[in-house]
Amino acid sequence: MKEQWKSPAEKELKTLSIESLNWKTTDNISINPLYTDTSIPDNTSFPGIPPYTRGIRATMYTNRPWTIRQYAGFSSAEATNAFYHECLKGGQTALSVAFDLATHRGYDSDHPRVTGDVGKAGVAIDTVEDMKRLFDGIPLDKMSVSMTMNGAVIPIMAFYIVAAEEQGISPQELSGTLQNDILKEFLVRNTFIYPPDASMRIVGDIIAYCAKNLPRFNPISISGYHMHEAGATLAQELAYTLANGLEYVRTALTMGLEIDEFAPRLSFFFGIGMDFFSEVAKLRAARALWCELMSQFKPKNPQSSMLRTHCQTSGVSLTYQDPLNNVIRTTIEAMAAVLGGTQSLHTNSYDEALGLPTSQSSRVARHTQLIIAEETKIPKVIDPLGGSYYVESLTQSLIDKAREYILEIEKMGGMTKAIQLGIPKSQIEEAAAERQIRLDNYEDIIVGVNKYQGDSQPNIDVLEIDTEMVRSQQLERLATIKKQRDQAAVEKCLADLRAAAQGKANLLEVALKAARAGATLGEISFALEDVFGRYQAPVKTLTGVWQRAMINDPNFKELREQIKQFALDRGRQPRILLTKLGQDGHDRGLKVIATAFADAGFDVDLTPLFTTPAEAARQAIENDVHVVGISSLAAGHKTLIPALIDELKKAGADDIKVICGGILPPQDHQYLIDAGVAALFTPGSPLLEVVRKTLGVIL
């Protein structure tokens, strides 16, 4: 008798092996092609009720949408101020300040180490006067201001408070967020200044000062974004961010604060990538986990257990190839953040894989949020994906996976100890290398990069910053300030700051006096450095990851044989020095490339971070390398790379080849080639191609 089917769907399910469609996320979480109500835990939580999985507010966006907070800063304070006014007129509802790398690292614009960094990847701020220009015409008692600053937090926060005072605004009226998350700097971003213990003391002093004097201001934004961009899996980003949060809570408690004095003002910051449902689940999981972790401190105020977060769409998901496609990538990521329940959001511009965003691309990014908020009706329903079998199951899986990482960190004695052991950093670096391998092997697809490539690139305008002009302007202003101020009063304030660093006085409180007297950012930072010292990260190379994945690949085997033959012919392995010039600490790309060269058979040397062109040239000569590879992400390539080539020529070592990769706008390629660069690698270049082409350059 012929078997009777109840429905076409049942027939399809019976004839298809469902298990064959299972797959795993980067966190090794098994994903089924079909979810039912038996797949999820019993979840009766409502929005606004612990553990806040569905949102920290009962009404969420139905009452008030998320804050549109676009991260921006470039060139001078005046240029950035004009851009802010344009954004606020265009619908932006809060400000987020990007400082240049010189400012991040505690250097004034006239310091010789920052020649190529002034005004490039953010705004140059040397004095209170610069801060006043930055916020000219912007009422700081009405405008929420977020400041991404971690290294030079003491002078920047002091300048902000004094600039507000000179607007007639008291600290009690200020609202916004200071990033002030130094632990993630030691993990991934590297714009630190002082050693970990001294840095944690600074974090604690700022939390304590703000708890007493700035009740509306968030003194710290605990950031997973930079871990996300450095290659962390979702569970790693989630776990390490919350583990950092635990460390800051304990630091504040040791300073005598009660949990409810500061915990309601803690905030978080997550990156949002292209794994749409996992990113939604990540934010839901973060709220549930934070509520669970905070219970050990027995807070009485419910807000102490609420995880409030800012989100930013991914920079690393933006492609150099077909950059207009980045508009849809950013839209998908922005929707994931909104459906996950973010409190504020930044959307990246489509041209940021090529260079700094223009006014046009920034407007598209800003309007992406406005369209979601105003046109889609998504905000009219609270947690619209709540109850989805898939999303609820994924949320619980991420909670379970992240909890394992957190317990591992706790067993080490907390995140500061774990960072000193190098465990989280190495795990993130390995995850980044594995991600690149999956792309090279077409296991993960990026449209236009490793599949569906186009024959030509659209012509995209990229913002060009004249560093020399900005630096010259800053130098002139610094000279004027130093001429007009009471130098004896400044020296007294700086001496008091050194004494405070040696003792137990609150550093921000003492630095405020120095800021009012006219001390510069560099002077305040160096006064603290005199006591704490300047931290230098250890130089380490990750090896073995690429080789394990590629061991049976015929092209990889062929490349290794070519390198072996080179060694036989020349009497030694090909040798490369990899470096980042200037003050940019984003070293994900450099570490991934180092893995590839080492596993292919090159001898690989790394310079310390924050190397000058002269220092890199000297190390290249001393190590007798064949080639120097430069990773450039911070728009200083037209200054720093030619400077390195000139240093090699001056030393009679122009036989050492120079290659570079990273964020290199197409219009700058010929300039770099004319300057002497032997090979250029744009974002998305396969590792095999990079190593093979470099070997060809040497030969």
Residues noted as catalytic:
71, 225-226, 580, 584, 586
Strand-pairing partners, residue 267, are 221
Q: Determine the Cα–Cα distance for residues 545 and 548; give it in Å rounded to an integer.
A: 5
CA atoms within 13 A on the CB side of 102: 31
| Unique residue bearing structure tokens 């490339």 | 593
β-bridge pairing 23-24 and 30-31: antiparallel
| Opening angle at CA 419, ends 418 and 425, nearest 5 | 110
SS3 451: strand
Closest CA to 80 of 121, 127, 39: 121
Q: Determine the Cα–Cα distance for residues 199 and 209; give it in Å rounded to an integer.
A: 15
CA 319 → CA 76, 225, 365, distances in Å? 28, 18, 15
SS3 216: coil
| Unique residue bearing structure tokens 């090159």 | 602
CA 188 → CA 237, 288, 525, distances in Å? 11, 25, 22
Q: How many CB atoms lie within 10 A of CB 345?
A: 25
| Residue-wise DSSP of 327-342 | HHHHHHHHHHHHHHT-
| Residue-wise DSSP of 577-618 | EEE-BTT----HHHHHHHHHHHHHT-EEEEPPSSB-HHHHHH
Q: Determine the Cα–Cα distance for residues 496 and 46; give it in Å rounded to an integer.
A: 52
Q: Determine the Cα–Cα distance for residues 337 and 385; give it in Å rounded to an integer.
A: 12
First to last CA, the chain: 74
| Unique residue bearing structure tokens 């984003």 | 586
Please confirm whether the linkage preceding 33 is cis (ω < 30° from 0): no
SS3 555: helix
Distance of CA 129 to the CA centre of its chain: 28
Q: Which two three-digit tokens encode residue 11?
A: 């027939």
Cβ burial of 675 (10 Å; 0-12, 13-18, 19+) is middle
8 Å CB contact between 241 and 280: no
Q: How many CB atoms lie within 10 A of CB 622?
A: 10
